[in-house]
Amino acid sequence: MNCLEWLPIYFGILKTGALAVPMNFRYSSEEIKYCLDLSDSDVLVFGPEFIGRIESIEEEIGKNRILFYVGGDCPSFAEDYDKLSSNCASVSPGIELSDDDDAAIYFSSGTTGFPKAIL
């Protein structure tokens, strides 16, 4: 996602102790599903550039995940990020984090196959 909402989303994920898993905007539907499955992600936050690709795999990925959409005209298969962010608590989640905690899983470009996970 290339939008202002990315910063609070990314740092909000880190603040909860969860792992952020940013994905390349060029990934195909199959690569997105592969990365979601490999990272064992429970939530997917996506923007307009991903609608078609997410919609094509929504039945497979949406069963065990919450899908949040950032942007206008939220698709019917996703939850609206604006509604989520307007109901957020203003208190810290109270999770103890240390410098040794992992923060994110990044994926390589996958030039010779599917993307490779980098912790």
3-class SS string, the chain:
CCCCCHHHHHHHHHHCCCCECCCCCCCCHHHHHHHHHHHCCCEEEECHHHHHHHHHHHHHHCCCCEEEECCCCCCCCCEEHHHHHHCCCCCCCCCCCCCCCCCECEECCCCCCCCCEEC
pLDDT digits (tens, 9 = 90+) for 3-14: 899 999 999 999
Q: Please name the residues in contact with 117: beta carbons below 8 A apart, sequence gap of 6 or more.
A: 35, 38, 39, 105, 106, 107
Tell me the pLDDT of the chain averaged across its residues: 92
CB neighbours of 110 closer than 8 A, spacing ≥ 6? 31, 116
Can you give the pLDDT at residue 53?
98
Owner of token pair 């942007």: 71
Q: All domains of the chain, ordered by start, with CATH?
A: 6-86+98-118 (3.40.50.980)
Least confident stretch, 26-35, 40-49, 52-61, 87-96: 87-96
What is the predicted pLDDT for the residue at 91?
Answer: 80
| Total Cβ atoms within 10 A of residue 75 | 17
pLDDT at 21 over 90: yes
* Residue 88 confidence (pLDDT): 79
Q: Using 50, 70 and 90 to split pLDDT, how confident is the model at 57?
A: very high
pLDDT on residue 70: 97
Q: What percent of the chain has pLDDT over 90?
A: 79
Q: Reply yes or no on whether the pLDDT at 111 is more than 80.
A: no
Higher pLDDT, 113 or 30: 30
